[in-house]
Amino acid sequence: MANVTVIGAQWGDEGKGKIIDWLSNRAEMVVRFQGGNNAGHTIVVGEKTYKLSLLPSGVVQGKRSIIGNGVVVDPWSLLEEIAKAGAAGLAVTPDILVLAENAVLVLPLHRELDALREEAASQKLGTTKRGIGPAYEDKVGRRAIRAIDLKDPASLPGKIERLLAHHNVLRKGFGAAEVDAGALLAALNGIAPSIAPYIGSSWRELDAARKAGKRVLFEGAQAVLLDIDHGTYPFVTSSNTVAGQAAAGAGVSPRAIGTVLGIVKSYTTRVGEGPFPTELKDATGEKLGERGHEFGTVTGRKRRCGWFDAVLVRQTCITGGVDGIALTKLDVLDGFDEIRVCTGYELDGQHFDYLPADANIQARLVPVYETLEGWKDTTAGARSWADLPANAIKYVRRVEELIGAPVALLSTSPDRDDTIMVSDPFVDR
């Protein structure tokens, strides 16, 4: 099957939205497989900018779009996003969008718990406060309300009772008011008729697509360094963001996920708390942030910025299962006299060529840099290698060498067409 899976290979915000949009043009189905409305994708098509959070990017092109079982779904947020998309001219009807029946719902109590915990914590995680972590906890704790439950109103009171038996104890500990079972039931029953038409089966949709030989694009959210297992724990999100999750989070064979494309920004950013070895808390960091418009799509928070860290990306290409990368935002590096790339770390006389798992060690690592010559001409809008300055090509080649993965796509502006295709992820392997 000529499928493609796209994942973020740093801490998110690598420019996945544009690449996914570009690829979804050539796919017949687009599937989200993890995360929730903590994600934010910006897609620019001509004069129009679409900001998507829960909706798969396929909706921009009217492609069949699946919210897989691995996603946690805030149904109110979903309806709001569908309405916003409608106002922007995108008809997100049940003919286009399918919500997996076995996807877990994010409820107001999850958002509240996320916020209560963040406010109370001495060491904050910097979550998006969208209730994502608490919803995944309930999923694993086997007390979650799932999309399918909205179609079975008779079962809801018992499920709510089980859920609240857990949450009301927690809330008491935080000094928060108990959640009223009747009010939650009424809220869910209120929303059920609007959500029900979208509810379907992710695995059956994908099985039908496979039998019809359709090209499927699996759309990851967040990124490998935010993966619950492989990321900078505990400063991570609550789902697996690696390519393997595409299979479990959608209901397909691991062999069906196709070519794995890691999205990599030409420098590094991070939102929220946690270790970031190449972070620049100086004028250069400010310059990267300003030139790269580094503000969170979801929370509006200023992103932390730093030089490209090849150690991290080499590691995430391995743990994430990346076959090739799409390198984005090369134009943000235009005009720098020198550009630095991290090739290793030092700590207490010890050298590391990987990111050690201990968060305390991660926080103290001192990056070892290699310095490359910058370029004066612009790379913005380049559509072929011939349009790139020689030093920019050298930079890209050095990145490939250091991370041990080839560049398949190069993105040189937010515009859909400003993309250099080196190899076609849908066919080249």
The set of catalytic residues is: 13, 41
Asked if 17 interacts with ligand IMP (CB under 6 A), we say no
For residues 68 and 250, the answer to whether their CB atoms sit within 8 Å is yes
* Of 123, 113, 229, 100, residue with least CA distance to 173: 113
CB 353 to ligand IMP: min, Å: 25
CB 357 to ligand IMP: min, Å: 17
Q: Which residues contact 115 (CB under 8 A, 6 or more apart)?
A: 129
Asked if 278 interacts with ligand IMP (CB under 6 A), we say no
Nearer to ligand IMP, 224 or 408 (CB): 224
Asked if 271 interacts with ligand IMP (CB under 6 A), we say yes
Which listed residue (3, 9, 13, 206) binds ligand IMP by CB under 6 A?
Answer: 13
Nearer to ligand IMP, 9 or 339 (CB): 9
Nearer to ligand IMP, 59 or 271 (CB): 271
C-alpha to C-alpha distances, 114 to 55, 65, 106, 124, nearest whole angstrom: 22, 28, 11, 11
> 376 phi and psi, to 5 degrees?
-95, -35
Q: Which residues contact 180 (CB under 8 A, 6 or more apart)?
A: none
Residue type, 174: F
- CA 374 to chain centroid, in Å, comes to 30
| Residue entry with tokens 């799509």 | 297
Question: Whose CB is nearest to ligand IMP?
Answer: 272
CB 332 to ligand IMP: min, Å: 17
CB 131 to ligand IMP: min, Å: 8
CB 14 to ligand IMP: min, Å: 9
> Binding-site residue total for ligand IMP (CB under 6 A)?
20
Nearer to ligand IMP, 42 or 194 (CB): 42
Nearer to ligand IMP, 44 or 185 (CB): 44
CA atoms within 13 A on the CB side of 36: 27
Q: Is the dihedral of CA 25, 17, 334, 396 positive or negative?
A: negative
* Residues in a beta bridge with 413: none
Asked if 38 interacts with ligand IMP (CB under 6 A), we say yes
For residues 294 and 12, the answer to whether their CB atoms sit within 8 Å is no
Q: Which residues contact 312 (CB under 8 A, 6 or more apart)?
A: 10, 225, 268, 277, 342, 355
Q: For residues 193-252, which are near ligand IMP according to CB under 6 A?
A: 221-222, 226, 235, 237-238
Asked if 328 interacts with ligand IMP (CB under 6 A), we say no
Nearer to ligand IMP, 12 or 68 (CB): 12
Nearer to ligand IMP, 298 or 339 (CB): 298
Which listed residue (3, 10, 12, 167) binds ligand IMP by CB under 6 A?
Answer: 12
- 279: tokens are 């972070």
CB 156 to ligand IMP: min, Å: 26
Binding to ligand IMP by CB under 6 A, coded x per residue (else -) over 125-144, reads xxxx-x-xx-----------
* H-assigned helices in 147-301: 156-173, 181-195, 202-211, 244-248, 283-291
Which listed residue (17, 40, 285, 289) binds ligand IMP by CB under 6 A?
Answer: 40
| Residue entry with tokens 């209120």 | 190
* Of 15, 29, 21, residue with least CA distance to 258: 29
The window from 95-103, 124-132, 152-160, 196-204 that contacts ligand IMP (CB under 6 A) reads 124-132
Q: Site residues (CB under 6 A) for ligand IMP?
A: 12-13, 38-40, 125-128, 130, 132-133, 221-222, 226, 235, 237-238, 271-272
